[in-house]
């Protein structure tokens, strides 16, 4: 099995980063003709999704996530004074953890004849839910 770790920087509390081009390059360099690429976020406040890279849809996604797990709500994780041993700069980010749970942090993309098997409007995206931060995404090749 072949793997690669992507290091990415986000610049906003909510942001999406397209990963499809990096996956294509990974397949060209490391992959065989047929198999799959597993894409895994290495953080509990990011998500990895397959969806359309369309600005207004992603605005809707942000709005939906904010309704499902609103920032500033009465989240127990954000009771920092009740959590022993946390750093002084610990953020109140329960909403981001919960939003990440809704979206998931791993996708698998099949590869056939050296091509990612994505539909016309599908892109692989890292969704930042608690930025800005340095992030890592793992790519793992699975042989057919």
Tens of pLDDT along the chain (144 residues) come to: 699 999 999 999 999 999 999 999 999 998 789 999 999 999 999 999 999 999 999 999 999 999 999 999 999 999 999 999 999 999 999 999 999 999 999 999 999 999 999 999 999 999 999 999 999 999 999 998
51 and 133 in contact (C-beta within 8 Å)? no
Nearest to 124 by CA among 138, 102, 108, 113: 108
Instruction: Report the pLDDT value the prediction gives residue 50, as an integer from 0 to 100.
Output: 99
Instruction: Report the pLDDT value the prediction gives residue 141, as an integer from 0 to 100.
Output: 97
Instruction: Report the pLDDT value the prediction gives residue 1, as an integer from 0 to 100.
Output: 64
Q: What is the CATH number of domain 3-71+93-143?
A: 2.60.120.460
């Amino acid at each position: 099995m072949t793997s690669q770790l992507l290091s990415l920087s986000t610049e906003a509390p909510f942001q999406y980063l397209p990963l499809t081009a990096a996956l294509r390059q990974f397949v060209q360099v490391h992959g065989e003709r047929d198999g799959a690429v597993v894409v895994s976020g290495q953080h509990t406040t990011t998500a990895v999704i397959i969806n359309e890279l369309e600005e207004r849809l992603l605005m809707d996604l942000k709005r939906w996530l904010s309704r499902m797990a609103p920032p500033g709500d009465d989240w127990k994780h954000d009771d920092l004074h009740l959590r022993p041993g946390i750093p002084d700069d610990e953020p109140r980010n329960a909403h981001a953890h919960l939003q990440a749970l809704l979206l998931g942090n791993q996708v698998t993309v099949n590869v056939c004849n050296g091509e990612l098997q994505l539909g016309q409007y599908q892109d692989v995206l890292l969704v930042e839910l608690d930025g800005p931060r340095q992030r890592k995404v793992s790519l793992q090749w699975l042989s057919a």
